[in-house]
Amino acid sequence: MKIDKIIHQATKNALAELYDLIPEDKQIQIQNTRKDQDGDITVVVFPFLRFSKKSPEETGKEIGNFILNKIEQVDSFDVVKGFLNLKIGNDYWLKNLISSYSDDNFGFISTNENSKTVMVEYSSPNTNKPLHLGHIRNNLLGFSISEILKANGNKVLKTNIVNDRGIHICKSMYAWQQWGKGKTPQNSGIKGDHLVGECYVEFDKKYKSEVEELIAKDYSKEEAENNAPSILAARELLRKWEANDDETVNLWKTMNQWVYTGFDETYKKLGVDFDKIYYESDTYLVGKEEVLRGLNEKIFYQRDDNSVWADLTNEGLDEKLLLRSDGTSVYMTQDIGTAKLRYKDFNIDKMVYVVGNEQNYHFQILSILLDKLGFEWGKDLYHFSYGMVELPSGKMKSREGKVVDADDLVEEMIQVARDMSEELGKLDSLTNDEAEDTFRMIALGALKYFMLKVDPRKNMMFNPEESIDFNGNTGPFIQYTYARIKSVLRKAGENNLEIDVNAKLESLSVKEKDLLKRIALFPGIVKEAGENYSPAVIANFCYDLVKEFNQFYHEHSILGEQNKDQLNFRLMLSATVAEVVKKGMNLLGIEMPERM
């Protein structure tokens, strides 16, 4: 049992015996002792004063003496005003270290037959453009949340919904027909999603030009936007697609496949994956059927133009369009269909949508509509709403001139890592292939850590150079510390020094105990991150742990320690820190280089 739980139960027993009080668990506040006070675990005494009828100091001493006499792990105590600070003996910390070192699953909960099945949706791209900077944050958050939920004992399914149909896709198709000049990824050397993205941009330029021409001919802005030749042609392609016209469908399949291949390359670079990919072209009809069922059952209503709406005014919201007057569906319709298919396919217990905060209203409505349609899981869907990410002005503009492509950003990050590493001479001992792989790990570690260390619900500014700094709260700093520990352990192995879990230990320094206490926090940190869907909790724990280790490393000799037991302990401590850091960083999707 963890020491905080032992102290919690002992405090409960003390209150019952001393003051005839049976407290609720939340009344007993257990926390880590402040660094400016002597002790390891602190019990807050103030809530018990009205029962003890004594001063904070007297109450603290009475509870402290009770715990000292009953709990062998407690060596001594001190009372500072209303805080009972308990000092935990070295034996407990050593046993805890041995347990952490020996347990490959330390900090994680294994799945079993009673584990809940959680599906996490992330990425959700459109097939008319490459993945961009916003998608990077989405993918990194979604993947990390999935790994954290898995570490908390859930069966996790990672899923993606690809928006592969609609007018935006038809715009790229029309542009390719008109101005693509027969280009393919194979004959042009252009990555498929970038090629289709260029078509989309070309459509936008032509469309805007046509609108300006019509306005110059005395069309209103709305009339011009609705009657520009390009948009009329794109709508005709959409009509043909929905009518299953062979030529149109074949072009749609071909261009979408270019994009899928491009997406797969980007996902591989980012180190994210999916267990199941859904496509809007498969799910929108299921959603349409559900909306029509809702119309027949008087859950929804139809206006004079035949459009179908949901009246949510009783829920304090407005009216929501579900089917247009021409019978075509909207995003909400597709999401209803996708949700139904997912629960049918996997019988999931929880659905988590990783989608930006601009869609808060959308998911509020989706939950209500699913509930109205009779799906009992509708109210339980969880929208993980995150903030937007931006770059400093002028940083790494993409070939479109507006959006930062994910591929461009990753390549730029690798170059920054290469330049900084070569300047510092950190990888001089590696072969070219080893160095290039390490540059990649550093670059992606920097990118992922910088994106994930902040509260995901806040907007953020991403600075590539700042993220790759080898000092401070960055991924490379944590990676470098890990590599340093692995270097120490390799040298120990070369000197035939093996870790003995049965070795004894007589004393602990302050820094050694600080590390032991921080390691002991890891299971609780993983649990907290899972409960709050927060990779930032993991990221900042890893930083605090390696910062603590570096202080220990500078103050204590490891391989130069003459006392055999002390040397053994420090090797075990270092190995455990490395393993905990690796586990934590892996939850963020970050690889840890063995050498740097």
Q: How many other CB atoms sit within 10 Å of the CB of residue 188? A: 15
Sign of the alpha-carbon dihedral angle for 66, 71, 76, 78: negative
Please answer whether residues 8 and 30 qualify as being in contact, where contact means their C-beta atoms are separated by less than 8 angstroms. yes
pLDDT tens, the chain, 596 aa long: 689 899 999 999 999 999 999 988 888 999 989 988 999 999 999 999 999 999 999 999 999 999 999 999 999 999 998 999 999 998 899 999 999 999 999 999 999 999 999 999 999 999 999 999 889 999 999 999 999 999 999 999 999 999 999 899 999 999 999 999 999 999 999 999 999 999 999 999 999 999 999 999 999 999 999 999 999 999 999 999 989 999 999 999 999 999 999 999 999 999 999 999 999 999 999 999 999 999 999 999 999 999 999 999 999 999 999 998 988 888 899 999 999 999 999 999 999 999 999 999 999 999 999 999 999 888 889 999 999 887 775 443 433 446 788 998 899 899 988 888 887 776 777 888 989 999 999 999 999 999 999 998 888 888 877 888 888 899 999 999 999 999 999 999 999 999 998 878 878 998 999 999 999 999 999 999 999 999 999 999 999 999 999 999 999 999 999 999 999 999 999 999 999 999 999 999 999 999 88
Rounded to a whole number of angstroms, the distance between the first and last alpha carbons of the chain is: 38
Tell me if domain 3-88 and domain 118-300+329-390 are identical in fold.
Answer: no
- Among residues 281, 279, 278, the alpha carbon closest in space to that of 242 is found at 281
Output the CA–CA distances (angstroms, integers) from residue 51 to 15, 46, 84, in the order listed: 9, 10, 17
Please answer whether residues 365 and 389 qualify as being in contact, where contact means their C-beta atoms are separated by less than 8 angstroms. no
d(Cα 257, Cα 11) in Å, to the nearest integer? 63
Predicted confidence at residue 393, as pLDDT, reads: 59
State whether residue 477 is helix, strand or coil. Answer: helix
d(Cα 36, Cα 90) in Å, to the nearest integer? 20
Predicted confidence at residue 87, as pLDDT, reads: 95
- Among residues 33, 35, 77, 34, the alpha carbon closest in space to that of 59 is found at 77
Predicted confidence at residue 253, as pLDDT, reads: 97
Could you tell me where the beta strands, DSSP code E, fall in 122-173?
Answer: 155-162
Q: What CATH architecture applies to the domain 3-88?
A: 2-Layer Sandwich (3.30)
Please name the helix (run of DSSP H) or strand (run of DSSP E) that holds residue 355, with its range, or none: strand 350-356
Strand partners for 440? none
The reported pTM is: 0.91
Of the CA atoms within 13 Å of residue 334, those in its CB half-sphere come to: 17
Write out the CATH class of domain 406-587: mainly alpha
Q: Work out the angle at residue 555's Cα, subtended by the Cα atoms of residues 552 and 557, and round it to the nearest 5 degrees.
A: 90
Sign of the alpha-carbon dihedral angle for 585, 587, 588, 593: positive
- Among residues 423, 433, 468, 431, the alpha carbon closest in space to that of 448 is found at 468
d(Cα 384, Cα 353) in Å, to the nearest integer? 6
d(Cα 531, Cα 538) in Å, to the nearest integer? 12
DSSP string, 265-289: HHHHHHT---SEEEEHHHHHHHHHH
Output the CA–CA distances (angstroms, integers) from residue 383 to 151, 348, 380, 569, in the order listed: 20, 16, 10, 45
Sign of the alpha-carbon dihedral angle for 584, 587, 593, 596: negative
DSSP string, 382-396: EEEEE--EE--TTSS
DSSP 8-state assignment for residue 22: -
Q: Work out the angle at residue 259's Cα, subtended by the Cα atoms of residues 330 and 132, and round it to the nearest 5 degrees.
A: 80
Please answer whether residues 470 and 480 qualify as being in contact, where contact means their C-beta atoms are separated by less than 8 angstroms. yes
State the helix-helix crossing angle for 167-179 and 192-216, rounded to 10 degrees: 90
Sole residue written with tokens 């209103």: 220
Sole residue written with tokens 């792989």: 437
d(Cα 379, Cα 541) in Å, to the nearest integer? 33
Output the CA–CA distances (angstroms, integers) from residue 231 to 203, 207, 526, in the order listed: 9, 7, 51
DSSP string, 544-565: HHHHHHHHHHHHS-STT--SHH
Q: What's the topology of domain 118-300+329-390?
A: Rossmann fold (3.40.50)
d(Cα 169, Cα 126) in Å, to the nearest integer? 8
Domain regions of the chain by residue span:
3-88, 118-300+329-390, 406-587
d(Cα 137, Cα 389) in Å, to the nearest integer? 7
How far is C-alpha 240 from the geometric centre of its chain's CA atoms?
Answer: 40
Please answer whether residues 545 and 519 qualify as being in contact, where contact means their C-beta atoms are separated by less than 8 angstroms. yes
